[in-house]
Amino acid sequence: MPYKVDARGLSCPQPVVLAKKAVENTQEEVIEVLVDNAAARENVSRFAQSAGCVVEVTPADNDEYTVRITRGPGA
Amino acid sequence: MNQKKVVLMAGAVVGALSVLLMKAGNPANMGICVACFIRDIAGALGMHRAEVVQYIRPEVPGFILGSFLVALAGGEFRARGGSSPLVRFVLGFFVVLGALVFLGCPLRMVLRLAGGDLNALTGLAGFAVGIWIGLFFLRNGFSLGRSTKLQSSNGYVLPAVAVALLLLLLMAPAFIFFSEKGPGSMRAPWLLALVAGVIVGAVAQRSRLCLAGGIRDLFLIGDPHLFRGFVMIFVVALVLNMMVGPFKLGFVEQPVAHSDGLWNFLGMVLVGLGSVLLGGCPLRQCILAGEGDADAGITFLGMLTGGAFAHNFSIAASPTGVTPTGKLAVFIGIVVVAVIGYLNMPRTVATGTKEGKQHAIQS
């Protein structure tokens, strides 16, 4: 089961703060961050890539996106 | 084009247009200043009566409309709001007071540096400290709450206000005030200013350019992405200033600036702290307002009100220095914004319990 973070409707940089806390404080292999705007999608993706994770973005309903973060070997 | 190129290009465009606007008539080292220009608009509308700073600066409606048009075209226009609107109004109000004690928003701070005004270094230090303090609240779960999708009419309000401002500028009815001397009388031709504003709004929307975000992301996650835009504005404006002038290195007799280091510093602490809690600098608030963010629209109205209060109560500084009320306002502003930061942290986190940390991850 992926660890899910709901970052919809939050101002910058809260989606990134929540994603970072999830990566640092949980053990799950996969973390899914739900966002509802392009800026948050880009920010969370950029953070996860710089943390050595694999990132996959899937559009969802209502202009939302799921940013799926899979831990890389070093993350 | 990848995100890195987009933000570098946006920074270059903003830096170049700022120098162009200054050469075309805007005040020195003030090709663009979001706080000063919003204050000028407040004056033009008669919300304050400081005769030297009254003009409907077309750049500001340009930022909003540029963002609005590009967001519409790119499918990113989305009416949303409901994230502590009144608190955001107060934050916008105090951010502008801080900026007007320093004499510039974060963008003008960079332009002042690029013009050789070393007082802006003190401002930059204060701005960075304010952002650092703001990150303490964010790391501990600070949030103004979620915004939700709204009826699209909410998103059209600020673009409509922008159009109304442009109509007032062009029709110039008798109740609108235009400065005949001082910074408010120094202006680039309106069409050039408007087109430049629209271009800045468009590139800032695409790149998410944010002066507060640049330093914030460096501190928070070591991400230099937005900071590259910040540096690019500086480099391009610096090179152009050196080529076509004016460039004057030093602390004294800098245009529309004072040399009171302590209050340059503290004014920008307030701007940095308030901007981080808002989620973006004054320019970014205009861009978000154009994208349909009604909370950013409320923040804009808070900034407009702050611009009016700054001159009605002698809070704004001038080249002769900082006023006693200006110092008091910055002090009160830092306290109020810090209290807002504290009160909007999850209570369990504020008291440091384990449950609080869990809540911060999931909230």
Please name the residues in contact with B185: beta carbons below 8 A apart, sequence gap of 6 or more. Answer: B52, B55, B178, B179
Task: Show the domain range for B272.
Answer: 3-362
In angstroms, the CA B96 to CA B173 distance is: 27
CA B212 to chain A, closest CA, distance in angstroms equals 11
Q: Judge whether B138 is closer than 8 Å to chain A, CB to CB.
A: yes
For chain B, percent of residues with pLDDT exceeding 90: 94
Question: How many other CB atoms sit within 10 Å of the CB of residue B278?
Answer: 27
* pTM beyond 0.80: yes
CA A45 to chain B, closest CA, distance in angstroms equals 12
Tell whether ipTM is more than 0.90: yes
Q: Which residue do the tokens 């600020």 mark?
A: B158
CB A31 within 8 A of CB A18: no
Q: What are the DSSP E strand ranges found in chain B? A: 80-81, 148-149
Q: Say if residue B363's pLDDT is above 50.
A: no
- Give B71's contacts in chain A (Cβ within 8 Å): none
- Give B357's contacts in chain A (Cβ within 8 Å): 25
Q: Would you place residue B358 in the very low, low, confident or very high pLDDT band (cuts 50, 70, 90)?
A: very low
Q: Are A50 and B222 an interchain contact pair (Cβ–Cβ within 8 Å)? A: yes
pLDDT tens digits for range B156-193:
999 999 999 999 999 999 999 999 999 999 999 999 99
* Distance linking the first and last C-alpha atoms of chain A: 18
CA A23 to chain B, closest CA, distance in angstroms equals 10
Q: What is the pLDDT of residue B348?
A: 55
Q: What is the pLDDT of residue B353?
A: 46
Report the residue of chain B nearest A3, measured CA to CA: B362
Q: What is the pLDDT of residue A15?
A: 96
Q: What is the pLDDT of residue A72?
A: 78
Q: Checking DSSP bridges between strand B80-81 and strand A30-35, what pairing results, if any?
A: unpaired
Q: Say if residue B266's pLDDT is above 70.
A: yes
Q: What is the pLDDT of residue B146?
A: 96
* Distance linking the first and last C-alpha atoms of chain B: 34
pLDDT tens digits for range B39-54:
999 999 999 999 999 9
pLDDT tens digits for range B298-332:
999 999 999 999 999 999 999 999 999 999 999 99
- Give A33's contacts in chain B (Cβ within 8 Å): none
Number of structural domains chain B divides into: 1
Q: Kindly provide the b/e burial profile for residues B281-310, where b requires at least 16 CB atoms within 10 angstroms of the residue's own CB.
A: bbbbbbbbbbbbbbbbbbbbbbbbbbbbbb
Q: Say if residue B106's pLDDT is above 90.
A: yes
pLDDT tens digits for range B3-51:
999 999 999 999 999 999 999 999 999 999 999 999 999 999 999 999 9
Interface of A with B (CB under 8 A): 5-6, 8-14, 16-18, 20-22, 25-26, 36-39, 42-43, 46-47, 50, 62-63
* A-B Cβ pairs (cutoff 8 Å, strict): 70
| Closest residue to B221, CB basis, from A5, A16, A36 | A16
3-state secondary structure of B314: coil
Please name the residues in contact with B176: beta carbons below 8 A apart, sequence gap of 6 or more. Answer: B44, B45, B46, B56, B168, B169
Q: What is the pLDDT of residue B362?
A: 46
Kindly tell me the burial class for residue B253, based on how many C-beta atoms sit within 10 Å of its own C-beta (0-12, 13-18, 19 or more).
Answer: exposed
Q: Judge whether B67 is closer than 8 Å to chain A, CB to CB.
A: no
CA B62 to chain A, closest CA, distance in angstroms equals 21
Query: Which has more pLDDT, A26 or B351?
Result: A26
| Phi, psi for A46 (deg, rounded to 5) | -65, -40
CATH architecture for the domain at A3-70? 2-Layer Sandwich (3.30)
> What is the mean pLDDT of the segment spanning B125-154?
97
Mean pLDDT computed over every residue of chain B: 95
- Give A43's contacts in chain B (Cβ within 8 Å): 208, 217
Q: What is the pLDDT of residue A74?
A: 57
- Give B83's contacts in chain A (Cβ within 8 Å): 9, 11
Q: What is the pLDDT of residue B355?
A: 45
| Closest residue to B78, CB basis, from A26, A37, A50 | A37
**Domain edges within chain A:** 3-70
> What is the mean pLDDT of the segment spanning B76-80?
96
Q: Judge whether B146 is closer than 8 Å to chain A, CB to CB.
A: yes
> What is the mean pLDDT of the segment spanning B335-361?
69
CA A41 to chain B, closest CA, distance in angstroms equals 12
